Structures are given as C-alpha cells and as structure tokens.
Amino acid sequence: MYRLEKTMIQNESARWDAVRSRFPGAETGPYLDVSGRSLLFEDGRTALNAHLDALSAGAVDKAALFETVEDTRALFATLIRSTPDEICFTRNVTDGIAAFGASIEWKPGDSVVLCEALEHPANVYPWFGLARKFGIRVKSVAPDRGALSLDRVADAIDATTRIVAISAVSFAPGFTFPVAELGAECRRRGVLLLVDAAQAIGIASIDVQKWNADAVVASTQKGLMALYGLGFLFIRREIAETLKPAYLSRFGVEQEGHEADLGDPASDVYAPGARRFDVGNYNYPGIVTVAPAIRMLLELGQETVQDYVHGLAHRFTDQILDLGLPVFGGRPGPHSSQIVTVGADLGSGHDSTRDHDMLSLYEHLRANKVRLSIRRNLLRFSFHIYNNERDIDTVIRLVAGWVKHHRNDAGALTRV
C-alpha cells in the first residue's frame, strides 16, 4: 500500500516534491496536459509490471485479481463519497453514459437536456444514438461565453425531460459548473442528473451526495493518472435498483460459485446496485494500474489536492493576464478549475488554431519542451499534483520572452 512517509508531510513543498518524484516525466519539461492525459504514476506502473510478469510466468492468481477489482471499486467509491455497490467498471466515459442511457425505459417523446456546444462528444453521441433507437429528443441548451447557465438548463427542463447530462468541468474552456445547484433542481423536479466527471475526477473534491447526482462517469487516463480503456460508472443505489442493463451478464446477477458455472440464467436476480452493470472479465491491467493512484489521492486528501492544483492554476492565470494575454474567463473565480485556456475566441480548432498569435505561442512553447494542448481554438494548460511553481516560472518566462518579440510599439501583439 502506498504510504506517504512522515517526512513527506512535514512540510508542504517536501510533500509535493515527494509526489512529483513518482512521475519521471515531470522533470523533462513542464507537463501541463492532464486534460489530454496524465503522466503515468510510477507506483501504478510497478503494479502493472507485476501483473504482466505474472501473466508471462503463468502465475496469475485469479482470486487475488478479483480482490484487487473489489479494492479498486471501493477506492473509487470513497473518492467520490459513495459506496462500492454504486460503482461498476466501464471502458471509458462514452461507455458509461451509453450503458446508463440504454438501461432507461424510454417512451417516445422523452427528452434529454444537454449543451451540445460545450459537452465532449462522449456526452453527446450516446444520446443521439438513443434518439434514433427510441424516438427520444435531445434538447440542446445554448452556452453563454463558454459557460453553461444554471437558469438556462433549468428553463429547458419540461415534463418530457428524463435526464440532464452535463460535465462538472468542461474540456474547453475548462469552466467548473455549479453541479450541486443543478442537482437540487433536478431532484426537486424528478429529473435524473448525469455528470461527466472526466475533467474533474482526481483533481476536484467530489461528493456525489452534495451534487445530488444520479449517475457519474469517469475514466482513468486523466486525473487518475493511469491508462486509457478503463472507466467507472456511479449510479445512485435507489436508481440503480430500478434499472435493467442492456446486457445481462454472469457478473451482473447475484449468484454464488465460479464465474464459469452456468447458474440460472433465467433467474433474473440482478446484482445489487450498479454492480448489475458489470459485464464479463475485467480490464485487469487498467485496474491494477489505477488502484495505487487513487490510494495516493485519498492519502493526500481530496480537499488538499484540489486546493494545491487549483492554486497553481490560479497563480498561472494571474501571471498570464499580467503579461497582457487573454485568459478565457478572466481572473480566477468560482468558474475556475485546473484548466487555464488562453486566447480570445472559443472556436472549433483542436490540436491547431486559426489564431496565428496563439499558434505561434504554442509552437514556441512546444519547441521548449512544454506539453500542452489546443482545444476549441484556445491554448489549454492543465495542472495536476506533479506540477509545481517551477513549472509555472518556466512557462511564464517563455511566454514573457515570446510576448517581448511579438509586441509592436503600441503594445499590441503583432501578427506573425
């Protein structure tokens, strides 16, 4: 089990240095792209290597693997303040949303409320798939300068609405949504709330009770510092108990005995809560890799992690603004997260942008070993626990150097 040694917690910076030392990639230039994917946590890699060694040697202990599955389910449940019976394993965020959506008993004319312009495709396509299959409607709410207004979402809910689907933190411009307020409204009006926590998990302190969330989806390659191809789906116990998953599986029913025992496929007694959504054998490599990272997050404490990571992003935001560059959303506030997006226009460019100044800055940073991304036309910098003030200083120095060469005498940025 991962334990932060006493000396590590004796003082703040020693603690974060100790964390950083478990991410070798953090020392090869500022890594500011957890929103794309995280650096891999060394202890997760060690656990993965051990799993692969066991496979190579023909020494896999299946009972121990099942134990790791249950430990990991419990760790994730603790991370979002829920219970293990409310958690099942998925392949990714899309899979979790699709599995939840496909288990609802839809009536033609039912609707789902979401914001197509701000949601990741993972939280849009599954609903359009269900619309084709069951004749439901997707009601799209218009964004307001990159934000989703609580009032607009509430206004879009009507008698046909079964689900509201929103992300806790958008992938661009990276704003935090007031989920708890919307959750209270949804609960009051008898509508289910599904939260895409892809950009919040492992960084924001999440409490599904406070959110009033009915379903939450996440994957493990970002804030959970592990691999692609594994996700979690939380479903509130009382809701899960009413759902019939699209797939009936051996692991999704309550039965004793070996997984290969046929049991009684006609018995129709589902496993408790969200466990009924488990399917066949698990993504063991993904699960063994993510468990040490969740343990570390719990040992650090979710509030501590959130304060540290958001603190870095806030200070970075202020320094970018002080250099005269536009941060989308302006000075830090309730809308802020670990994501800082730089540029004036929220557009449609990914990995590249038509804003020549921003593209030039992006190339300058990349050439100097800064890892970042471009989403929706904006430069996206995103922070995690392995980042520190030195990363900020390095990037700010590079940006300041670039600004100096791209300002004309009037102080405006010159087109390059």
Ligand X SMILES: Cc1ncc(COP(=O)(O)O)c(C=O)c1O
> Closest CB to ligand X among 31 and 270?
31
Q: By CB under 6 A, is residue 167 in contact with ligand X?
A: yes
* Interface with ligand X, residue 171, by CB under 6 A: yes
329 class by beta-carbon count within 10 Å (0-12 exposed, 13-18 middle, 19+ buried): buried
Q: Binding to ligand X by residue 337, rule CB under 6 A?
A: no
Give min distance, CB of 339 to ligand X, in A: 9
Based on the shown chain and the rule CB under 6 A, indicate whether residue 122 belongs to the binding site for ligand X: yes
Instruction: Based on the shown chain and the rule CB under 6 A, indicate whether residue 120 belongs to the binding site for ligand X.
Output: yes
Q: Does 127 bind ligand X (CB under 6 A)?
A: no
User: In the structure encoding, which two tokens stand for residue 286, read together?
Assistant: 């993904």
Instruction: List binders of ligand X among 193-222 (CB under 6 A).
Output: 196, 198-199, 219
Bond preceding residue 173 cis, omega within 30 of 0:
yes
Taking the complex as a whole, the smallest distance from the CB of residue 318 to ligand X amounts, in Å, to 25
Q: Show the binding pattern over residues 317-336: x = contacts ligand X (CB under 6 A), - = does not.
A: --------------------
Residues touching ligand X, count (CB under 6 A): 12
Closest separation in Å from C-beta 270 to ligand X: 25
Closest to ligand X by CB, 198 vs 287, is: 198
Residue labelled with tokens 């540290």: 308
The residue range among 117-125, 296-304, 359-367, 393-401 that interacts with ligand X, by the rule CB under 6 A, is 117-125
**Region of 69-77, 134-142, 192-200, 365-373 interacting with ligand X (CB under 6 A):** 192-200
Taking CA 357 as the corner, what is the angle to CA 354 and CA 360, rounded to the nearest 5 degrees? 95
Any contact of residue 338 with ligand X (CB under 6 A)?
no
Q: Is 72 in the site for ligand X (CB under 6 A)?
A: no
Using CB under 6 A as the binding rule, whether residue 93 contacts ligand X is answered as: yes
Of the candidates 5, 8, 19, the residue with the CA atom closest to the CA atom of residue 388? 19
Of 295, 313, 288, 299, the closest CA to residue 384 belongs to 313
Q: Does 94 bind ligand X (CB under 6 A)?
A: yes
What is the binding site for ligand X (CB under 6 A)?
A: 92-94, 120, 122-123, 167, 171, 196, 198-199, 219
